[in-house]
Structure 1
Amino acid sequence: MQRPASNLTMSVAALLAESAKRHADRPAITMNGITTSYRELWDETRAYAGALRDAGVGPGDRVALLIPNVTDFARVYYAVLSLGAIAVPIHALLKRQEISYVLEDAEAKVLICAAPLLAEGAAGAQASGVPVFSVLAPTELGTDRLEERAAASTAIDTYLPRHPEDIATILYTSGTTGKPKGAMGTHLALVEQTGALIGGTLEVRAGDRLFGGLPLFHTFGQTAVLNVGIRAGAEIILLPKFTGSDALDIVLDQHVDVFFGVPTMYIALLEAGKARTERPTSLRYGVSGGAALPLSVLQGFEQRFGAKIHEGYGLTETSPVACLNHVNREPRAGTVGTPIWGVDVEIADPTEPGRIVLLERGELGEVVVRGHNLFSGYLNRPEATAEAMVDGWFRTGDLGTKDDDDYVRIVDRTKDMILRNGYNVYPREVEEVLMEHPGITNAAVYGVSHETHGQEIAASVTVAESSGLDADTVRQWAAERMAAYKYPRLVEIVTEFPLGPSGKILKRELVARHARA
Structure 2
Amino acid sequence: MGNLALNLAASAANTPHAPALRLGDLTLDYAAVDAAAARVAGLLRDRGIRPGDVVGICLPNVPSFAICYYGVLRAGGVVVPLNPLLKERELTYHLADSGAKVLFAWEDVAETAQASAAATGTEPIIVTANGFDELLALAAPAPGYEERDDDDTAVILYTSGTTGRPKGAELTHANLLANCDVVAEVLLNLSPSDVVLGALPLFHVFGQTFALNTVVKVGALLTMLPRFDPTAALEVLERDGVTVFEGVPTMYTALLNHPDGKSFDLSGLRLCVSGGSAMPVEVMRGFEQAFGCTVLEGYGLSETSPVVSFNLPDRERKAGSIGLPVPGVEMRLVDDAGLEVGGDEVGEIAIRGHNVMKGYWGNPSATAAAIPDGWFRTGDLARRDSDGYYFIVDRKKDLVIRGGYNVYPREIEEVLYEHEDVAEVAVIGVPDARLGEEVCAVVALKPGGTATAQDLVEHAKHRIAAYKYPRHVVLVDALPKGATGKILKREIVVPSDLGSDLSGIR
Bucket of the pairwise TM-score, normalised by the shorter protein = 0.7 to 0.9
1:196 aligned to 2:203?
A: no
1:99 aligned to 2:104?
A: no
Contact 1:200 1:328 in 2 (8 A): no
Contact 1:220 1:320 in 2 (8 A): yes
Q: CA deviation at 1:487?
A: 13
Contact 1:12 1:187 in 2 (8 A): yes
SS at match of 1:336: coil
Q: Counterpart of 1:362 in structure 2: which amino acid?
A: D
Aligned residue number for residue 118 of structure 1:
110
**Counterparts of 1:377 and 1:228 in 2: how far apart (Å)?**
23
1:271 to 257, 277, 295: 257
**Counterparts of 2:78 and 2:94 in 1: how far apart (Å)?**
14
SS at match of 2:89: helix
1:220 aligned to 2:227?
A: no
Q: Counterpart of 2:186 in structure 1: which amino acid?
A: G
Aligned residue number for residue 310 of structure 1:
296
Deviating more after overlay: 396-405 vs 173-182: 173-182
Aligned residue number for residue 58 of structure 1:
50
Q: CA deviation at 1:114?
A: 1.6
* CA RMSD across the alignment: 3.0
String of CA shifts for 1:245-298, please: whole Å, max 9, x gaps: 211222223211011001111112222254543451111121011111111211
Q: CA deviation at 1:201?
A: 2.4
Cα distance change, pair 287–138 in 1 and its aligned pair in 2 (3 A): closer
TM-score by length of 2: 0.80
1:399 to 381, 405, 415: 381
**Counterparts of 2:9 and 2:281 in 1: how far apart (Å)?**
40
**Counterparts of 1:289 and 1:318 in 2: how far apart (Å)?**
14
Aligned residue number for residue 247 of structure 2:
261
Q: Counterpart of 1:97 in structure 2: which amino acid?
A: R
Q: CA deviation at 1:486?
A: 12
SS at match of 1:272: coil
Q: Alignment length, in residue pairs?
A: 433
Aligned residue number for residue 409 of structure 1:
391
1:386 to 349, 365, 368: 368
**Counterparts of 1:137 and 1:279 in 2: how far apart (Å)?**
30
Cα distance change, pair 133–348 in 1 and its aligned pair in 2 (3 A): same
**Counterparts of 1:50 and 1:448 in 2: how far apart (Å)?**
47
SS at match of 1:395: strand
SS at match of 1:87: strand
1:156 to 117, 137, 142: 142
Pairs within 5 Å for 1:152-191: 152-191=138-177
Q: CA deviation at 1:494?
A: 4.8
Cα distance change, pair 486–103 in 1 and its aligned pair in 2 (3 A): closer
% identity of equivalent residues: 40
Instruction: Give structure 2 stretches of 5+ with no counterpart.
Output: 401-427, 445-489
**Counterparts of 2:90 and 2:441 in 1: how far apart (Å)?**
27
SS at match of 2:263: coil
**Counterparts of 2:261 and 2:182 in 1: how far apart (Å)?**
38
**Counterparts of 1:448 and 1:238 in 2: how far apart (Å)?**
35
Deviating more after overlay: 403-412 vs 73-82: 403-412
Q: CA deviation at 1:161?
A: 1.6
**Counterparts of 1:224 and 1:235 in 2: how far apart (Å)?**
13
Contact 1:184 1:375 in 2 (8 A): yes
Pairs within 5 Å for 1:202-351: 202-272=188-258, 274=260, 276-349=262-335, 351=336
SS at match of 1:158: coil
**Counterparts of 1:167 and 1:160 in 2: how far apart (Å)?**
13
Q: CA deviation at 1:441?
A: 4.4
Cα distance change, pair 149–487 in 1 and its aligned pair in 2 (3 A): closer
Cα distance change, pair 449–164 in 1 and its aligned pair in 2 (3 A): same
Aligned residue number for residue 491 of structure 1:
496
String of CA shifts for 1:196-219, please: whole Å, max 9, x gaps: 222222221112010101000110
Aligned residue number for residue 16 of structure 1:
8
Contact 2:162 2:399 in 1 (8 A): no
2:341 to 345, 359, 380: 359
Q: CA deviation at 1:185?
A: 0.6
1:85 aligned to 2:71?
A: no
Cα distance change, pair 271–88 in 1 and its aligned pair in 2 (3 A): same
Instruction: Give structure 1 stretches of 5+ with no counterpart.
Output: 1-8, 140-145, 419-426, 435-439, 452-484, 496-512
1:444 to 430, 433, 437: 437
Aligned residue number for residue 60 of structure 2:
68
**Counterparts of 2:63 and 2:73 in 1: how far apart (Å)?**
16
Q: Counterpart of 1:399 in structure 2: which amino acid?
A: L
Q: Counterpart of 2:311 in structure 1: which amino acid?
A: N
Contact 1:197 1:340 in 2 (8 A): no
**Counterparts of 1:413 and 1:293 in 2: how far apart (Å)?**
16
String of CA shifts for 1:446-491, please: whole Å, max 9, x gaps: 998899xxxxxxxxxxxxxxxxxxxxxxxxxxxxxxxxx9998732
TM-score by length of 1: 0.78
